[in-house]
């Protein structure tokens, strides 16, 4: 009888009060931070893409856009600080969550058959770090001019053309944009889910919208190296 | 009907385990998966081999005791069906089946296909209740609950705590389970007074147990024998976010009670 009562009470499961974890120390908190920082980075992508697409307006228009941007140091540096913070928190959360992920299932299944999840959603911890590595090279390439191709500070248009005339570099950019697009496809709608917004009528639409936006962003960014490779955007006399 | 089983054999929690191959020609398409294991165990005992340990109780799909992976899918190929309700007619004659226990750090294998799910009990104990004065019953219509809310609460309450969500999740996350438990009380008026506290305590307990994070990929929803949806995880996230913002330092009577 005594044993039965013990088994029936919470003492059987050894509850000693829930651990007093702070918001940041829960996986749910880290995912919320990931959602907010992720959407900030995605927002930047849209602005960055709209700026980049001006390359199709010709050398003068593109270089003027770059010059105008550099004449707005508050905007440029404000954006950079926000992005650095967002990237830092996004990566910090990733590292901690990846650690949790590997400790949560130490013994792998001999057989595991995914049922409904997308390839994009299962590979977030791979597409993310690869895109991060790409961003490092991208900054070296077009911001610091140390990417290994011809670079002139006052001629961003020429830098782009010179940079993408090298086939492996152009292909690497297209592949990186493909991975970024996959990351966005899952990340954009996950933003809502991680922050607690899910509705049977709207969530499927959000998933659809995320896929469309991801494809559009891929097509937009990939169009530039492809256009240079095909000779549609080419070097002319400066 | 002939079936080949590859079954995870592990003598106890600390010991190493491995897959063992067994064949049986005495299978019948009308058997449930658990009855198939019963027959296989009879054969194994006849040969002097130790029978395969698996957990079961009601065998009618409502207790949440049974469950293991069949060919990499929690509860096997039939959706919204526990292994006790899964019949062999869903498999082909001569098929090879790989049976593995739920795999998660927070679900240590006790033996073979049986795992220790007391982590779920501790999550429930952390906040999966309503503190009500259990006096004489009140009038049936004193507390009005809209039909849609009652239905959603009932859908969440359908969770039987089998652990398939944890098993199917690549991160071994218990979010679907915890989300269902938080939602089913949080949707009802009786659950409101403790709603914030419940979300905080249950989410913290879930995290303290070592389950992984939710990646919103939906594998849990796909294998859930009771059709619990990802909406419940979003509700948990919303409640936890709000409760975290609104949490106050404990003072006075609350501190004395704790």
Residues of A in contact with B214 (CB under 8 A): 27-28, 31, 194
* Residue pLDDT, tens place only, B122-158: 999 999 999 877 778 888 888 899 999 999 999 999 9
Do B51 and B154 fall within a single domain?
no
CB contact under 8 A, A18 and B205: yes
Do B244 and B121 fall within a single domain?
yes
The whole domain housing B225 covers 117-132+142-248
Do B37 and B62 fall within a single domain?
yes
Provide the CATH number for the domain around residue B14.
3.10.20.30
pLDDT at res. A11: 45
The answer to the question of residue A19 being in a domain is no
Confidence of residue A18 (pLDDT cuts 50, 70, 90): low
CB contact under 8 A, B73 and A30: no
3-state secondary structure of B5: strand
The answer to the question of residue A176 being in a domain is yes
- Residue A233 to residue B256: CA distance in whole angstroms: 74
The answer to the question of residue A148 being in a domain is yes
Q: What is the mean pLDDT of chain A?
A: 92
Do B75 and B146 fall within a single domain?
no
pLDDT at res. A19: 79
Closest in B72, B103, B213 to A100, CB measured: B213
Distance of CA B181 to the CA centre of its chain: 11
* Residue pLDDT, tens place only, B189-218: 999 999 999 999 999 999 999 999 999 999
* Residue pLDDT, tens place only, B10-37: 999 999 999 999 999 999 999 999 999 9
Among residues 171-210 of chain B, which lie with CB inside 8 Å of chain A?
Answer: 171-173, 200-205, 207-208, 210
CB contact under 8 A, A198 and B205: no
pLDDT at res. B121: 97
- Residue B11 to residue B111: CA distance in whole angstroms: 5
Q: Is A32 on the interface with B (CB under 8 A)?
A: yes
The answer to the question of residue B62 being in a domain is yes
What sign has the CA pseudo-torsion A34, A39, A44, A50?
positive
Q: Which residue of B has its CA nearest to A14?
A: B122
B146: closest CA of chain A, how far (Å): 18
Exposed / middle / buried, residue B228 (Cβ in 10 Å: 0-12, 13-18, 19+): buried
CB contact under 8 A, A198 and B233: yes
Helices and strands counted in chain A (H then E): 9, 0
Residue B97, H or E segment: strand B96-100
Do B218 and B164 fall within a single domain?
yes
Contacts of A128 (CB under 8 A, 6+ apart): A94, A183
Do B8 and B98 fall within a single domain?
yes
The answer to the question of residue B96 being in a domain is yes
Our count of domains for chain A comes to 1
Asked whether this complex has an ipTM greater than 0.85, the answer is yes
Tell me the whole-structure pTM to 2 decimals: 0.93
Our count of domains for chain B comes to 2
Do B77 and B159 fall within a single domain?
no
The answer to the question of residue A3 being in a domain is no
Closest in B172, B231, B240 to A198, CB measured: B231
The answer to the question of residue A8 being in a domain is no
CB contact under 8 A, A28 and B215: no
Do B171 and B225 fall within a single domain?
yes
Confidence of residue B50 (pLDDT cuts 50, 70, 90): very high
The answer to the question of residue A89 being in a domain is yes
Among residues 21-50 of chain B, which lie with CB inside 8 Å of chain A?
Answer: none
Using the structure block, give the residue that is written with the tokens 């999740």: B169
| pLDDT of B107 above 70 | yes
Which of A144-158, B36-50, B242-256 comes out lowest in average pLDDT?
B242-256
Closest in A23, A30, A115 to B219, CB measured: A115
| pLDDT of A6 above 50 | no
Q: Which residue of B has its CA nearest to A24?
A: B244
Closest in A18, A107, A193 to B204, CB measured: A18
The answer to the question of residue B16 being in a domain is yes
The answer to the question of residue A211 being in a domain is yes
Do B65 and B14 fall within a single domain?
yes
The answer to the question of residue B254 being in a domain is no
- Residue A129 to residue A97: CA distance in whole angstroms: 13
The answer to the question of residue B253 being in a domain is no
Q: Is A123 on the interface with B (CB under 8 A)?
A: no
The answer to the question of residue A11 being in a domain is no
Do B124 and B244 fall within a single domain?
yes
The answer to the question of residue B201 being in a domain is yes
The whole domain housing A130 covers 28-101+117-230
- Residue B96 to residue B98: CA distance in whole angstroms: 7
| pLDDT of A228 above 80 | yes
Confidence of residue B256 (pLDDT cuts 50, 70, 90): low
pLDDT at res. A12: 46
Question: What is the DSSP track for A114-134?
Answer: -SS--HHHHTHHHHHHHHHHH
Do B125 and B243 fall within a single domain?
yes
Do B165 and B185 fall within a single domain?
yes
pLDDT at res. B133: 73
Q: Residue A88: how many CB atoms within 10 A of its CB?
A: 11
Contacts of B74 (CB under 8 A, 6+ apart): B67, B68, B102, B164, B165, B167, B168, B223
* Residue pLDDT, tens place only, A76-116: 999 999 999 999 999 999 999 999 999 999 999 999 999 99
pLDDT at res. B244: 95
pLDDT at res. A9: 45
The answer to the question of residue B137 being in a domain is no
| In chain B, % of residues over pLDDT 90 | 90
Provide the CATH number for the domain around residue B173.
1.10.1060.10
- Residue B75 to residue B88: CA distance in whole angstroms: 13
| pLDDT of B66 above 50 | yes
The answer to the question of residue B200 being in a domain is yes
Say if CB B128 and CB B181 are below 8 A apart: yes
Contacts of B249 (CB under 8 A, 6+ apart): none
Closest in B171, B219, B231 to A104, CB measured: B171
């Amino acid at each position: 009888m005594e044993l039965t009562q013990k088994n029936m009470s919470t003492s059987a499961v050894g509850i000693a009060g829930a651990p007093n974890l702070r918001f940041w120390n829960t996986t749910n908190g880290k995912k919320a931070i990931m959602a907010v920082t992720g959407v900030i980075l995605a927002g930047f992508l849209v602005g960055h893409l709209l700026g980049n697409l001006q390359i199709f307006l010709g050398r003068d228009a593109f270089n003027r856009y770059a010059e105008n941007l550099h004449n707005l140091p508050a905007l440029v540096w404000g954006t950079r600080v926000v992005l650095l913070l967002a990237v830092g928190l996004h990566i910090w959360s990733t590292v901690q969550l990846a650690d949790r992920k590997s400790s949560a299932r130490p013994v792998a299944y001999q057989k595991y058959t995914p049922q409904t999840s997308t390839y994009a959603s299962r590979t977030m911890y791979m597409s993310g770090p690869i895109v991060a590595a790409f961003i490092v090279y991208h900054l070296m390439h077009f911001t610091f001019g140390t990417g290994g191709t011809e670079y002139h500070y006052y001629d961003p248009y020429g830098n782009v053309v010179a940079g993408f005339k090298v086939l492996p570099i152009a292909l690497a950019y297209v592949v990186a944009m493909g991975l970024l697009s996959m990351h966005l496809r899952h990340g954009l709608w996950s933003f809502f889910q991680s922050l607690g917004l899910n509705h049977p009528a709207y969530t499927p639409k959000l998933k659809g919208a995320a896929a469309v936006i991801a494809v559009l962003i891929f097509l937009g960014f990939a169009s530039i190296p492809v256009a240079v490779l095909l000779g549609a955007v080419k070097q002319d006399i400066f | 009907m002939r079936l080949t089983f590859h079954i995870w054999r592990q003598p106890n929690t600390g010991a190493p385990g491995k897959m063992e191959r067994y064949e049986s020609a005495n299978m019948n398409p009308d058997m449930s998966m658990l009855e198939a294991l019963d027959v296989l165990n009879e054969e194994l005992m006849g040969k002097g081999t130790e029978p395969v340990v698996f957990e079961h109780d009601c065998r009618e799909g409502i207790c949440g005791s049974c469950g293991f992976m069949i060919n990499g899918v929690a509860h096997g190929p039939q959706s919204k069906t526990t292994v006790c309700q899964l019949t062999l007619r869903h498999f082909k004659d001569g098929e090879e089946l790989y049976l593995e226990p739920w795999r998660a750090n927070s679900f240590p294998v006790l033996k073979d296909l049986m795992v220790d799910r007391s982590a779920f009990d501790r999550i429930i104990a952390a906040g999966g209740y309503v503190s009500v004065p259990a006096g004489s019953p009140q009038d049936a219509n004193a507390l009005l609950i809209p039909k849609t809310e009652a239905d959603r609460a009932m859908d969440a309450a359908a969770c039987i705590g089998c652990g398939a969500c944890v098993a199917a999740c690549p991160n071994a996350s218990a979010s679907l389970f915890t989300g269902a438990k938080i939602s089913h009380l949080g949707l009802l008026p009786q659950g409101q007074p403790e709603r914030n506290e419940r979300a905080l305590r249950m989410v913290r307990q879930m995290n303290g147990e070592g389950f992984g994070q939710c990646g919103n990929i939906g594998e849990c929803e796909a294998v859930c024998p009771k059709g619990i949806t990802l909406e419940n995880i979003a509700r948990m996230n919303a409640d936890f976010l709000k409760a975290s913002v609104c949490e106050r330092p404990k003072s006075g009577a609350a501190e004395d009670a704790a």
